[in-house]
Each structure stands twice: as C-alpha cells, then as structure tokens.
C-alpha cells in the first residue's frame, strides 16, 4: 500500500492511499479519515460510497463529513467507484465503465476482468483496512449517494449483522425497473434478469429488509427522480414495516449541496448506532 497524501483535519488525519487489487486487477485508490481518537485504539468506521462519475475524492472534499466524524470519534472510508487505468474497459457514456462500477461483480466481457466492485468493497478493501489501520471491525456503518446509495443499501441488506446502521442520499432505489440499472445490469451481468435481483434495494427490502436502523433522504427537486424511483423503496419499506425513516426533503436537488446539508444528521444517526 502506498500513501499518496496525509493532511491534518479536525484533529485527525485525512489520508489517501493506493494498493494493488486482486479483485479488480489494477491499482485502487481510497480515502480514509481517522479521527484523533484513533491514536488511542480502534475506532468505529462509516463507509461512504460515491455516485456516478465520482472518484474517492468527491465526497472527501465536498460532503463535509470529517467535522462531524471527528466530533463523534468515527473513521470515514471513501472508496473509488470503479477500477481505473489504461487496461480497464471503458465507455463513452458517463453512466457505464470507469466511474460507474455500480458496486456489482460483472460477468460479461469486456467488464468481467476488472469490474468486481462488489467483492472489492465487501471483501478485499475491508481486509486491507482492518489489517493496516486502527479500525473496529465489529462497529461498522454504511452510507452513500445516488449510485453509492444503491451500493450502501444493497450491501447492508446482503450482509446481516455486519453494519449497525445504513443510510443513503438520493439512492437509486429500484435499478431493475429503471434506465439507471437496466442498461448497466445488461452490460455487466447479461440479459438474464434473475442475476440482477441481488443488486436491487427494493427487491432486497421486500425479501430481507435490514436488521438495524435506516435513514433515506431524497430531494423533491432532484432532477433524476424518475431514475431513482424512491417511491418503490418507500412502498417496500412500508409493506415490510421496516424500521427507519424515509424523508423527501423539499426543494433539494441531487447535488453535493444537498448531501452536505444533511451530512451532520446522517453522521449523528450512525454515531448513535455505532457508539450507543
């Protein structure tokens, strides 16, 4: 693992690191904020999964999460959204290829050799983090924005007991029924829609739900509402009587202005679950 940068922030350290990934067969980069409390021992960790076109850097510099995480004594992990590099398949469209991994394990060419983001986020990167940094593996939470909200919700529901809480900002809620999902799932996973079900938050909610508190925020002025399909997840949560909060925030759009506005509440929500 290489240290690309480390900067003092809110009493802690915001670092950026790279490492060779066996899952993605390329070097991967991630950001990690360690609060001051990490100097005395392992601290809880909040994963933040970013959306389309983002790298590890977008949320790291725009979401404003470090201030609130430092106060709570929580680490923040900012993974990249896809494999990258000259040998990694790509597409001219912004919503497919590099920057658009959708947190799935691709089975189709030319994506399969590198686009194993599900395994990277759920297996390989945790192994790297918990072996190299003072992080408490038993105290994890997860959140994300847009495509990353989709990833946070699907991963949380697929690993019962791993995450104490889950939240999302404007998540892609029902990708198997949306143009933000059907296009990418066909490319990455093939035409058999049965292979898509494990990557759809609404379908997973109907089948499993989440064994902890949930918080979902979406703006009423979000320019991508027809693609996000928040009503599908809300209906599934109600039908399952899932504990949690689903909020439509009046006048907010899809931007990081929206994310940063409600970040303090999301960090506090996770802190309550992680720290009691």
> Hey, what's the torsion of the CAs at 262, 266, 271, 273, to 10 degrees?
150
The DSSP result for 47-110, as a single string, is: EEE--TT--SHHHHHHS-HHHHHHHHT-EEEEE-SS--STTS---SSTTSBTTB-TT-B--STT
What does DSSP say about strands 75-79 and 43-49: parallel, antiparallel, or unpaired? Answer: parallel
Structure tokens belonging to residue 75: 């680490």
The DSSP result for 123-174, as a single string, is: IIHHHHHHHHS-EEEEEEEEEEBTHHHHHHHHHHHHSTTTEEEEEEES----
Does 146 qualify as catalytic in the annotation? yes
Rounded distance between C-alpha atoms, residue 206 and residue 199, angstroms:
13
Residue 68 CB contacts under 8 Å (≥ 6 apart), including other chains: 263, 264, 267, 268
265 C-beta neighbours (distance < 10 Å), count: 15
Which residue of the set 178, 222, 266, 270 is catalytic? 222
Does 222 qualify as catalytic in the annotation? yes
Which residue of the set 146, 165, 167, 178 is catalytic? 146
92 C-beta neighbours (distance < 10 Å), count: 6
70 C-beta neighbours (distance < 10 Å), count: 21
Contact 102, 113 (CB under 8 A): no
Which residue of the set 56, 114, 150, 254 is catalytic? 254
Rounded distance between C-alpha atoms, residue 137 and residue 130, angstroms:
7
Does 254 qualify as catalytic in the annotation? yes
Beta bridge pairs of residue 167: 215
- What's CA 122's distance to the chain center, in Å? 11
Tell me the catalytic residues.
146, 222, 254
């Amino acid at each position: 693992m290489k240290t690309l940068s480390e900067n003092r922030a809110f009493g802690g350290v915001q670092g950026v690191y790279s490492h060779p990934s066996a899952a993605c067969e390329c070097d991967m980069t991630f950001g990690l904020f360690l609060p001051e409390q990490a100097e005395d021992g392992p601290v809880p960790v909040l994963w933040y999964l970013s959306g389309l076109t983002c790298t590890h850097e977008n949320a790291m510099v725009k979401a404003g999460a470090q201030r609130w995480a430092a106060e709570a004594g929580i680490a923040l992990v900012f993974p990249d959204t896809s494999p990258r590099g000259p040998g990694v398949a790509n597409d001219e469209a912004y919503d497919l290829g590099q920057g658009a991994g959708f947190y799935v394990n691709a089975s189709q060419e030319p994506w399969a050799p590198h686009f194993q983001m599900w395994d990277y986020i759920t297996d390989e990167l945790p192994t790297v983090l918990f072996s190299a940094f003072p992080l408490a593996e038993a105290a994890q939470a997860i959140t994300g924005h847009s495509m990353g909200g989709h990833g946070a919700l699907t991963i949380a529901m697929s690993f019962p007991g791993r995450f104490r809480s889950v939240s999302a900002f404007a998540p892609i809620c029902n990708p198997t029924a949306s143009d933000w999902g059907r296009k990418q799932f066909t490319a990455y996973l093939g035409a058999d829609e049965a292979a898509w079900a494990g990557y759809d938050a609404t379908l997973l909610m109907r089948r499993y739900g989440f064994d902890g508190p949930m918080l979902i925020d979406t703006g009423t002025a979000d320019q991508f509402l027809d693609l996000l399909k928040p009503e599908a997840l809300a209906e599934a949560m109600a039908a399952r009587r899932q504990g949690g909060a689903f909020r439509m925030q009046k006048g907010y759009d899809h931007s990081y202005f929206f994310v940063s506005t409600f970040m303090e509440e999301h960090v506090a929500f996770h802190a309550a679950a992680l720290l009691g």
